Amino acid sequence: MDSNITSTLGVTRCGNTEFRWGERTYIMGICNMSPDSFSSDGLNDVVTAVAQAKRLVAEGADIIDIGGESTRPGAEPLPAREELRRVIPVIERLAPELPVPISIDTYKSEVARRALAAGAKMINDISGLKEDPALAQVATEANVPLVLMSNQRYTNGEIKDVMAEIVSFLEQSIALAIQAGVPRENIIIDPGVGFGKTVPQNLEMIYRLAELKTLNRPILLGTSRKFMKGNPPDQRLGATAATLAIGIAHGADVVRVHEVKHMLQVCRMTDAIIGRRPVDH
């Protein structure tokens, strides 16, 4: 780990939480309100979603990411009114009760604004501001962290150098966010595993993840259940663990996962190996 680069990332404040980048890997737990999710984890009612979110926090999640629209390839865009119907009741129930911040997983400014009003403290945009640039203004006005994902579904032509494409995409997204007034310390970047990239490109990107450190922003890595697709989604723990360990070793600061309990051990052990903090014996 390059401690000189890591130390320049500073601190990002999210509600009552401080993310002190470089001290340890943070865990974002997934709470998916989309019934047609690729990972078969979609939830259909508020009670179940609230119970799952609380369980993930008890298992060690630092953030709960709530989304209402499927992002699997070929999924139809979801109207904002339906996305709001799915996520707002869950956020309203959880916000007063969770000790960790809630992230809203959306690319729509209207949904983000309503979610923040309901109690969310972070925006996670899989389009990197390509779908709705007004999302940056929402983040600015609320002074909340904004995750910007590199999504090659929005680029034209064949990807020749996957990391060059990702860096270029994220440079543009960061520039749009800063132009809209988002403080640089509120920006988190995500290389976008699985979004417009082939399996070999995804694997190469994880191996070359350290190249994103040139952007000098914390890196979120979302590989959960995205590999070994010959197995049912809930039986891909080993593949997820391998990608997270390599990703953390190469610079990931946050990991977005379904199985918090198991991936917590991966994060803590990898942190100990790369010198972020001692492992519990």
Cβ neighbours of residue 160 closer than 8 Å, sequence gap 6 or more: none
Q: Residue 255's beta-bridge partner residues? A: 27, 221
- Residue 226 annotated in active site: yes
Q: Are 277 and 271 in contact (CB under 8 A)?
A: yes
Q: Please name the helix (run of DSSP H) or strand (run of DSSP E) that holds residue 94, with its range, or none.
A: helix 80-94
Of these residues, 226, 236, 268, 276, which one is catalytic?
226
- HEC profile of 129-187: CCCCCHHHHHHHHHCCCEEEECCHHHCCCCCCCHHHHHHHHHHHHHHHHHHCCCCHHHE
Task: Clarify whether 130 is annotated catalytic.
Answer: no
Active-site residue, from 86, 256, 268, 276: 256
Alpha carbon distance 77, 79 (integer Å): 7
Q: Which residues are catalytic?
A: 226, 256
